[in-house]
Structure 1
Amino acid sequence: MASAEGAVSRVTRASLNNLTLELQTDSELSQFNRMKKIDAIHHVQRYIVDRSATAGSCAFFRIVCNVMDGVLVACIAALLDAPLWAQVLAGFVFALVVGVLSVLLRPRMSGSFKPLDAMLRHHRIVGVAVALTPFARIGSDAVNKRVAREAELSDDEELEKLQREQGRATIDRLAESGEVDPEVSEMLRNVLTLSETLTREIMVPRTDMICIEKGQSLGAMLKLCSRSGFSRVPVIGDDVDDLIGIAYLKDAVRATAFNTSALTRPVDSIVREPLLVPESKPVDDLFHQMQKQRQHVAVVVDEYGGIAGLVTIEDTIEQIVGELEDEHDRTQHAEPVKVGDRKWKLPARTPIADLEEMFEIDMDEDDVDTVYGLLTKALGRVPIVGASAVTRGLKLTAVDSAGRRKKVSTILVEPAGLNDESETERDARHDSHHDADDDETPKENHDR
């Protein structure tokens, strides 16, 4: 009864159907044995329709049997004309021994390890227990209604949720025992949470997407990839929602490497069909879809069909192994650095209040909180390395990027009158510098 009680909550309909299919295609089994095993499977299928009732019936009979052990021993002591105190003591001691043996043998755990085998082996006695305890369904119906009202899960979904919780508990015990490396245990925990994490939680939002307009040339795309560090760029029309496709750096290089005249070709001549995924898609399903379709980048759409953001296969892998970086990635500066007279290199996340204190000015900005936000607002687009803008008498220039997403990490801030070089001249000089700098070659497998 204990073994069946532990097994009934872990047997799935899919495992029973797969076993039936295996038996039907097993040519080595005789017809009699095949029908006998299939009949046992049909019985188990009926028992798991209401798992709570079946488990309750098994638990009831297990408790009754434990009680009857002591009662029967007390009765035997009475038949032997033992005094009353000896009868009670004999029954109590025997019941205690049976309880200790149950704890040591752990029959419920054996049912949990191989639930399908346990249910098939004990299906007859489970059937007797279910038939003799119709009252077990009363409490089961109340439990099922409460669970359905709170979680709105199907029977198999409820079982999967239970198994995930048990998996987390097992990983926690392994981590506490010290037998598993902490980083490995953390990755195992992350694997269990993939199905609960939605694509919208890991995507790059549309406000941070680096895009190129369809009318731009392949030469402009090569410069954009060199400056941004991305090798896959969305191609758009009038706005971000007007998505044309995805342009790949390797396609642009292939088209222009031996044909310099192709640098003037429009970028939409090399676009590829984008992979569109809903923002509510679980990350594990997203990973399998991208793996199956051999796509490294996908465009995320919201419920209204608009572009919500961009996601890559590296984003899904990072949910398991943590942040991915390579030899070209720089770490963000932790502290502001003074590089000249009233010239500062500031981390992108430096609060505007610190900027006001350094230059003794009042910015009066309510809708942005950081230097990066101030530069983004002044430009009207996502800044990349080399982009600059003047606001509130200060010139802000993005001079460094960090991380796999190549987000601007360091911003040079100086009074606007110290350097009259225009943004166009700076961009042209910066582009030529990057074309000759091998260290700035974008990663082939980087996705944006």
Structure 2
Amino acid sequence: MSAQMVLSAIGLVLAALLLVWLSLVMAAAEGAVSRVTKSSLNNLILGLQTDGELSQFSRMKRIDKVHRVQSLIVDRHATTGSCAFFRVSCNILTGILASCLAALFALPLWANLLCGFVFAILVAMVSVMTRPRVSGARKPVDIMLRHVRAIGLAVRLTPFARSAREERGGKTGRFSDLSDDEELEKIQIEQGRAMVDQLVEAGAFDPEISEMLDNVLTLSSTLTREIMVPRTDMICIGQDTSLSSALKLFSRSGFSRVPVIGEDVDDLKGVLYLKDVVKIIAFEREAGSRTAGSLAREANLVPESKPVDDLFHSMQRSRHHLAVVVDEYGGVAGLVTIEDAIEQIVGELEDEHDRIQREEPQKIGPNVWKLPARTPIAVLEEIFEIDIDEDDVDTVYGLLTKLLGSVPIVGSSAVTRGLKLTAADAAGRRKKIATIIVEPAARSAEQGGQAEREDAAASQE
């Protein structure tokens, strides 16, 4: 064998080993690109700028590497596509070089092809055993900083990766609607859900636990306006209302915190707490003459676009259990409690005082019916054989709300078409009216007059 053949063989071997190394680097970069965040790089720059042990030259050199990584993750899909292209190309070229190396020894054609195939299989086995993508996912920043030059060269040599991504984004709109960080967050959430599903299938978790974990993953994509009590269902109290009247409202509504308003709901003055009212009434003689506005605390305001996970943590830090939700124009959109956020994880919360709403109307006396709040008006018309011409409401609860002009609480009543509707009781943590008593208005008036006569006779005795 001549010296020229030996040098050629050594060159082919070194080139093949270099391609194998480059293939493993590109595989590790594929796993790292999708997990490097902008915030981690910004924090790294701040750490380098404040590191007193580094010389100015070393500091600027490392910061320059971080800036290069930042430019690579601006378009993650293009960077990932470039790394994948070079990884596949390197694997193909290693097989070709192995075939060329076999050809130097004047082997037959089938032997050359077999050598190339076997060497490609060995490279694949090495890639599987070393798992470069796993190492890239575990230490994404370190991998990107260590191989930033090779990754940057791969991106510059594959400009078609960027153009292909832009073409897909223009057709589907998938990439144009989401920012880079939002895409990364979406990918991580999908990966988390897949991991939870795998654990459930393996029997590691109960179905209830897996549902809670899945709910946790969706907190960041759920907005406050999706879980809040809308302003139409809010129970408020006027700022000039006496504390004795406020105490009755607390008792009838079942709430311990009520917003205090002025002329309308948007004229928010604060939030009145039941414990404050009880404390004042118990220890001050003239407390009954004080108004709700004088005792209202400052309201905690949150935007309706705030993600539920941020809402939960902010309420936890500020120790507020109730917040008033405002829209983009500054108007009151509703209110939300910390229990609403918790329910997004664990499901509906109820206590021993909550009652289960009946699903069917119940006759409780002569011509007296107890109807679920969601009973259609058509059922009410059929029971009492009357015609209630209401086009803008569909349920008995909606009819009572319209007649009152406000959200009904326990004991609220109104009369229409000769029928008296009375809110009987509330159910659920939000204390929404569960059942409504419907009876003829004349019968109710007679019972009221008889009760007054009995009270008068008892007082004379």
Deviation of 1:30 (Å) = 7.6
Deviates more, 1:122-131 or 1:55-64: 122-131
Q: Deviations over 1:299-330 (max 9, x none)?
A: 22233333222222221222222212222222
Displacement of 1:220? 0.3
Distance in structure 2 (CA, Å) of the matches to 1:206 and 1:49: 42
Pick from 310, 314, 321 the counterpart of residue 335 of structure 2.
310
What's 1:275 paired with? 300
Match of 1:201 in 2: 226
Matched, 1:184 2:209: yes
Match of 1:262 in 2: 287
Shift in Å, 1:147: 8.3
CA-CA distance at 1:180 after TM superposition: 2.2
* Farther off after superposition, 224-233 or 298-307: 298-307
Instruction: Map residues 124-143 of structure 1 onto 2, 5 A cutoff.
Output: 124-139=149-164, 142=167
Aligned to 1:286: 311
Q: Is this contact kept in 1: 2:170–2:176, CA < 8 A?
A: no
- Check conservation: 2:266, 2:332, Cα contact below 8 A: yes
Q: Which stretch of structure 1 is more off in the superposition, 281-290 or 211-220?
A: 281-290
- Answer yes or no: is 1:384 the counterpart of 2:403: no
Q: Distance in 2 between matches of 1:292 and 1:104?
A: 46
* Counterpart residue number, 2:119: 94
Please tell me whether Structure 1 or Structure 2 has the larger radius of gyration of its CA atoms. 2
Once residues 241 and 31 of structure 1 are traced to their aligned partners in structure 2, the CA distance between those partners, rounded to angstroms, is 57
* Residues 234-273 of structure 1 aligned to structure 2 (within 5 Å): 234-273=259-298
The answer to whether the 8 Å contact 2:169/2:176 transfers is no
The equivalent residue for 1:169 is: 194
Q: How is 1:76-115 mapped onto 2 (pairs within 5 angstroms)?
A: 76-103=101-128, 105-115=130-140
**Worse-superposed segment, 276-285 or 364-373:** 276-285
Which residue of structure 2 lines up, in the alignment, with residue 443 of structure 1?
none
User: Structure 1 residues 355, 32: CA separation in 2 closer, same or farther (over 3 Å shift)?
Assistant: same
Amino acid at match of 1:47: L
Aligned with residue 253 of structure 2, among 224, 228, 234 = 228
1:432 aligns with: none
Encode CA deviations 1:351-404: one digit per residue, 9 max, x unaligned.
222222323333333222112112222222211111122222222221111111
Query: For this pair of structures, how many residues does the alignment match?
Result: 426
* Alignment correspondent of 2:369: 344
Q: Which residue of 2 aligns with 1:52?
A: 77
Amino acid at match of 1:338: K
CA separation of 1:244/1:33 partners in 2, compared to 1, >3 Å: closer, same or farther? closer
Structure 2 residue ranges without an equivalent (≥5): 1-25, 456-461
Q: CA RMSD in A?
A: 2.9
Is 2:33 the counterpart of 1:4? no
Aligned residue number for residue 4 of structure 2: none
Counterpart of 2:432 (choices 400, 407, 426) is 407
- What CA distance in whole angstroms lies between the structure 1 residues aligned with 2:44 and 2:87? 29
1:281 and 1:352 map into 2 onto residues whose CA distance is 37
CA separation of 1:147/1:113 partners in 2, compared to 1, >3 Å: closer, same or farther? farther
Which of residues 427, 441, 444 in structure 2 aligns to 1:419?
Answer: 444
Q: In the aligned structure 1, how far is the partner of 2:382 from the partner of 2:272?
A: 43
Candidates 334, 339, 347, aligned match of 2:359: 334
Q: 1:43 to 1:237 in 2, by over 3 A?
A: closer
Give, in angstroms, the shift of residue 335 of structure 1: 2.7
CA change 1:246–1:422 in 2 (3 A) is farther
1:257 Cα offset (Å):
0.4
TM-score scaled by length of structure 1: 0.85
Which of residues 161, 185, 189 is equivalent to 1:160? 185
> Please, which moves more after superposition, 322-331 or 398-407?
322-331
| In 2, Cα distance between equivalents of 1:156 and 1:57 | 20
Quote the sequence identity (%): 68
CA–CA distance in 2 between the matches of 1:422 and 1:100?
90
**1:322 maps onto 2:314 in alignment:** no
Q: Deviations over 1:34-82 (max 9, x none)?
A: 6665454344234324433332332222111110122122223322332
Q: When the two structures are superposed, what TM-score results if normalisation uses the length of structure 2?
A: 0.83
Query: Is residue 78 of structure 2 the alignment partner of residue 69 of structure 1?
Result: no
Judged with a 3 Å threshold, the aligned counterparts in structure 2 of structure 1 residues 265 and 138 are, in CA distance, closer, same or farther, namely closer
Segment drifting more, 250-259 vs 124-133: 124-133
Shift of the 244–137 alpha-carbon distance from structure 1 to 2, 3 Å rule, reads closer
Tell which deviates more after alignment, 414-423 or 194-203: 414-423
- Deviation, 1:196, is 2.2
Taking the aligned partners of 1:396 and 1:206, their CA distance within structure 2 comes to 23
Q: Partner residue of 2:11?
A: none
Q: Using the alignment, how far apart are the partners of 1:141 and 1:366 within structure 2?
A: 50
> Is 1:121 paired with 2:142?
no
Secondary structure, aligned partner of 1:120: helix
Cα distance in 2 for residues equivalent to 1:17 and 1:381: 52
Q: 1:42 to 1:308 in 2, by over 3 A?
A: closer
1:446 match: none
Q: Distance in 1 between matches of 2:359 and 2:183?
A: 46
User: 113-122 or 45-54: which moved more?
Assistant: 45-54
Mean Cα displacement is larger for which, 404-413 or 166-175? 166-175
**Distance of 2:123 and 2:403 partners within structure 1:** 78
In the alignment, structure 1 segments of 5+ residues that lack a partner are: 430-448
